[in-house]
């Protein structure tokens, strides 16, 4: 059992990551690839990826076994929630030697050591270079082709959590992150394998990281001295993580969730986890009656009235970006972004309401509609 203890200051500093964390998704997808029984939502992804994994993935399995402890340094706390894979890699490869050794010694206490692990624990330059190359090759093969869909899924979850926070407060947000979680202020409790531990946030707050590949229970770092992070699974529907009718040849553009020509097309995705997730969000009250009265085709009409810039802003909203993040991404002023958002609401016929959150409804309409312009997150 894990018990996370909050103070009033911690509650004020608790926040949700802007989007999927590439290092956590790397770690958790490695776990999935090693599972004997893969959850249905990931079966096609696993079958597609396993046949094309680079040989260097075997090194990563040593650091991230399916069961037990995985090395903390693979998911740097200092870059948690940052969508830039390059920054995460740099942080991993810059891990202080003392921490490398501590994490690997803890890892080897649960399983046999290998020459490469021993060299890495000593901070050997060649071992660190091999680690960096293995991470880059794995990310390019297993995650990059699917990253846009992963971002959409995580963005939809973030929008839902934002609605829960605004409607019901932080307590409801925390208690609904996972069915096994229990919130009894000021302590968040949930089962954590064989471990029984307490994590005191001590005024540092908590970063909540929604994860596509996390699928059992929430997970956090072993070392309590690191910046507190709680990674939790977004909802998935079984057996619906790939197009329902995928008769095309296996090319990068026809992989499950892949975005042809750099875009995510609703028609190309077919019946995917996207549809089930949105149905689930409606059932929990996010979409309310408005979206239920609109078919995807009806929702697409108003979207076509948006200017290119307004569609770019809406795409960033769908990735879970705040107005401040959109300002930084597009390089425009705060008032300009506010004008774009108002125009989006007006053109989608989303009037101010005490019961519905227009930002969430706009994102859900976007995710259900036909092809949209996309914004490069790099």
- Residue by residue, pLDDT tens for the chain (378 residues) are 999 999 999 999 999 998 899 999 999 999 999 988 777 778 888 888 988 899 999 999 999 998 889 999 999 988 888 888 999 999 999 999 999 999 999 999 888 889 999 999 999 999 999 999 999 999 999 999 999 889 888 988 998 898 888 888 999 999 999 999 999 999 999 998 777 999 999 999 999 999 999 988 899 999 999 999 999 999 875 333 333 333 333 333 333 333 333 333 222 223 333 333 333 333 333 343 344 444 444 445 678 888 888 888 998 888 888 888 898 888 888 889 999 999 999 999 888 776 678 888 888 888 876 444 444 433
pLDDT of 354 reads 67
How is the chain split among helix, strand and coil, in percent rounded to 5? 55, 10, 40
Q: How far apart are CA 367 and CA 364, in angstroms?
A: 5
Instruction: Check if the beta carbon of residue 134 is closer than 8 Å to that of residue 59.
Output: yes
DSSP letters of 38-94?
--GGGHHHHHHHHTT--TTHHHHHHHS-SSS---GGGS-GGGTT---HHHHHHHHHT
The DSSP symbol for 216 reads S
pLDDT digits (tens, 9 = 90+) for 42-97: 888 888 898 889 999 999 999 999 888 999 999 998 888 888 899 999 999 999 99
φ, ψ of residue 64 to 5 degrees: the values are -135, 65
SS (H, E, C) 268-319: HHCCCHHHHHHHHHHHCCCCHHHHHCCCHHHHHHHHHCCCHHHHHHHHHHHC
- Let me know: does 80 contact 17? Beta carbons within 8 Å: yes
Spans of all domains in the chain: 2-15+149-233, 21-146, 252-368
Task: Please give the helix or strand (H or E) that residue 16 lies within, else none.
Answer: strand 15-16
**C-alpha separations of 141 from 90, 147, 243, 303 in Å:** 19, 11, 19, 33
What pLDDT, on a 0 to 100 scale, did the predictor assign at position 90?
A: 95
What is residue 355's predicted lDDT score, i.e. its pLDDT?
Answer: 65
Instruction: Give the CA angle between residues 310, 312, 318 to the nearest 5°.
Output: 105
CATH number of 252-368: 1.10.10.10
**Number of neighbouring beta carbons within 10 Å of residue 246:** 15
Burial of 256 per CB tally in 10 Å (0-12, 13-18, 19+): buried
Residues 6+ apart with CB under 8 A from 151: 19, 20, 83, 319, 377
pLDDT at position 303 is 81
The tens digit of pLDDT for each residue in 15-38 reads 999 889 999 999 999 999 998 877
Are the beta carbons of 149 and 269 closer than 8 angstroms?
Answer: yes
* Cis status, amide bond into 186, omega within 30 of 0: yes
């Amino acid at each position: 059992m894990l018990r996370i203890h909050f103070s009033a200051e911690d509650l004020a500093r608790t926040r949700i990551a802007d989007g999927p964390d590439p290092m956590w998704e790397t770690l958790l997808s490695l776990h999935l690839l090693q599972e004997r029984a893969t959850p249905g939502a990931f079966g096609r992804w696993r079958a597609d990826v396993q046949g094309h994994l680079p040989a260097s993935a075997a090194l990563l399995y040593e650091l991230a076994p399916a069961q037990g402890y995985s090395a903390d340094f693979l998911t740097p706390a200092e870059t948690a929630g940052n969508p830039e894979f390059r920054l995460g890699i740099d942080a991993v490869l810059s891990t202080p030697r003392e921490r490398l050794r501590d994490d690997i010694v803890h890892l080897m206490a649960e399983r046999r050591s290998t020459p490469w692990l021993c060299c890495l624990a000593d901070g050997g330059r060649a071992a660190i270079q091999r680690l960096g190359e293995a991470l880059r090759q794995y990310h390019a093969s297993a995650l990059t082709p699917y990253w846009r869909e992963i971002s959409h899924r995580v963005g939809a979850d973030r929008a839902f959590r934002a609605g829960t926070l605004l409607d019901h407060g932080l307590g409801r947000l925390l208690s609904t992150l996972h069915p096994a979680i229990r919130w009894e202020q000021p302590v968040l409790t949930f089962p954590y394998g064989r471990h029984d531990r307490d994590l005191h946030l001590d005024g540092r707050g908590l970063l909540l990281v929604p994860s596509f590949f996390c699928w059992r229970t929430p997970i956090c770092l072993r070392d309590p001295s690191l910046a507190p992070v709680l990674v939790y699974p977004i909802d998935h529907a079984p057996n619906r993580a790939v197009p329902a009718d995928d008769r095309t040849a296996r090319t990068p553009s026809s992989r499950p969730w892949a975005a042809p020509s750099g875009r995510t097309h609703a028609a190309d995705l077919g019946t995917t986890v996207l549809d089930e997730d949105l149905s689930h969000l409606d059932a929990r009250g996010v979409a309310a009656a408005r979206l239920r009265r609109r078919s995807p085709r009806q929702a697409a009409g108003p979207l076509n009235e948006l200017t290119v810039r307004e569609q770019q802003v809406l795409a960033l909203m769908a990735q879970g970006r705040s107005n401040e993040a959109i300002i930084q991404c597009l390089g425009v002023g705060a008032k300009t972004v506010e004008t774009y958002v108002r125009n989006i609401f007006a053109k989608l016929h989303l009037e101010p309401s005490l019961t519905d959150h227009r930002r969430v409804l706009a994102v859900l309409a976007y995710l259900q509609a036909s092809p949209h312009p996309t914004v490069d997150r790099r």
